[in-house]
Structure 1
Amino acid sequence: MPIKHHSAEKVDLLPVHKFSFHNTTTQPEEDSSVAERMRRLQDQYDETGMRRSVDAVILVHDHGVPCVLTTQIANDFFKLPGGYLDPSEDEETGLIRHLDDLLGAGTKQWRAEGPHWNIHCLLAVWYRPNFDGFFYPYKPAHVSQPKECKKIYLVTMPEQMVGVPLNMKLLAIPIHEFYDNTQRYGPQLSAIPHMLSR
């Protein structure tokens, strides 16, 4: 099923208590520092061109308050579930692969039950113009070849078991907590209320 790029469809959110959570294995970090991540980005860019990545805004609710599931690393770094695409991989396949790897329950029964993720629509496209940490919610006019393109999709889940890597926390953060809070969550997560208001 192709992913819609805009949708006015009604999205039903399940409450957090409808999911069961259990610890899985440790999720390895590919890079030990930002500098190492940028070096790897440059190496990949030299090999295959602009890197593509996908993230999921997974919506649930807690006591009637809409929330977004985020991972937290080292008690201070928040991230949306997702990751880099293989050069020939389409966005829906890649996003499902990353969600399965990160939040999948990891059992044969779980894998056989599917589907586990409802991908609704594209919320935003962010660009990394240079080999640094800065993303922009548009492609700067003076940049002819961005180094990375990140697409963020709206995702919901059916009632299911969710795996949580041992070295991460999975938090349901109320949407209003992100608004105008770049200092805590960074520019992409703090833009979530704007993305969803569309």
Structure 2
Amino acid sequence: MYLKTETRADRLLRLRANYEAHGMRSCVAAVIVVELFKHPHLLLLQVQNSFYRLPGGRLLRGESDTDCLIRKLSSKLSAGEDGRGPEWEVGECLGMWWRPDFESLLYPYLPPNIKRPKECIKLYLVKLQPSRRLSFLRTSDFSQSHCANFMRTKRIPLQTYGPVVSGVPQLLSKYSFNMVEPET
């Protein structure tokens, strides 16, 4: 909603006000690897045809990382399941990204001169259950009649798409993936 109407100055004021009221923003994001054409792809959300991001979001006050990630994944990726269905299997934390100021730059480390970071994003490996159903929109299915803040689910080959997403292949390099043929 903010993307279309908010100016950069308005965004900066909103972020400062949120920081003063609630402190550092804590977020979680899911790294979900799916197979397509016998090649690993990363599951991403495309926001308003402008950028890609990992599924996840901001923690509510008192909420654990795992609970937040399950809540966000169920609301964004459990199409047709009404949030029910197989549980999400949240694995280990792969890494953390830090926003030292209100600008858009994120770092895979907390710079030593920063005493009060503005945001922390933790990336968790999430394993899909074989019975988990996800829906993917084709570009032809998407029209302007959809809500302005609609996010399309995309399967993207492990390539460079922004600082956080481009770091995922290195984080995943310690794992071995077995591609399994689906039962028909």
The 8 Å contact of residues 105 and 163 in structure 1, kept in 2 or not, is answered as yes
Instruction: Provide the residue aligned with 1:141 in structure 2.
Output: 112
Residue 169, structure 1, aligned to residue 140, structure 2: no
Secondary structure, aligned partner of 1:83: strand
Residue 101, structure 1, aligned to residue 84, structure 2: no
The 8 Å contact of residues 58 and 156 in structure 1, kept in 2 or not, is answered as yes
Deviation at 1:146, TM superposition (A): 0.2
Structure possessing the higher relative contact order (Cα contacts under 8 Å, 6 or more residues apart): 1
The 8 Å contact of residues 121 and 154 in structure 1, kept in 2 or not, is answered as yes
Instruction: Figure out how many residues of one structure are paired with residues of the other and give that number.
Output: 160
Counterpart code for 1:86: L
Instruction: Provide the residue aligned with 2:96 in structure 1.
Output: 125
Per-residue deviation, residues 111-131 of structure 1 (Å, max 9, x unmatched): 1x331x111111110100001
The answer for unaligned runs of 5 or more in structure 2 is 138-145, 175-184
The 8 Å contact of residues 102 and 164 in structure 1, kept in 2 or not, is answered as no
- The alignment's C-alpha RMSD in Å is 2.1
The 8 Å contact of residues 86 and 132 in structure 2, kept in 1 or not, is answered as no
Distance in 1, matches of 2:61 and 2:108, equals 22
Secondary structure, aligned partner of 1:138: coil
Instruction: Provide the residue aligned with 1:187 in structure 2.
Output: 163
Identity of counterpart residues, as a percentage?
37
Distance in 1, matches of 2:34 and 2:136, equals 16
The 8 Å contact of residues 126 and 138 in structure 1, kept in 2 or not, is answered as yes
Distance in 2, matches of 1:193 and 1:43, equals 35
Instruction: Provide the residue aligned with 2:179 in structure 1.
Output: none
The one of 144, 160, 165 aligned to 2:132: 160
Secondary structure, aligned partner of 1:154: strand
- Calculate the TM-score normalised by the size of structure 1: 0.73
The 8 Å contact of residues 68 and 173 in structure 1, kept in 2 or not, is answered as yes
Per-residue deviation, residues 8-53 of structure 1 (Å, max 9, x unmatched): xxxxxxxxxxxxxxxxxxxxx3554473444332222101211100
1:40-55 correspondence runs (5 A): 40-55=14-29
Q: Which has the higher helix share?
A: 1
The 8 Å contact of residues 125 and 152 in structure 1, kept in 2 or not, is answered as yes
Worse overlay, 33-42 or 131-140 = 33-42
Counterpart code for 1:196: L
The 8 Å contact of residues 102 and 163 in structure 1, kept in 2 or not, is answered as no
Instruction: Provide the residue aligned with 2:173 in structure 1.
Output: 197
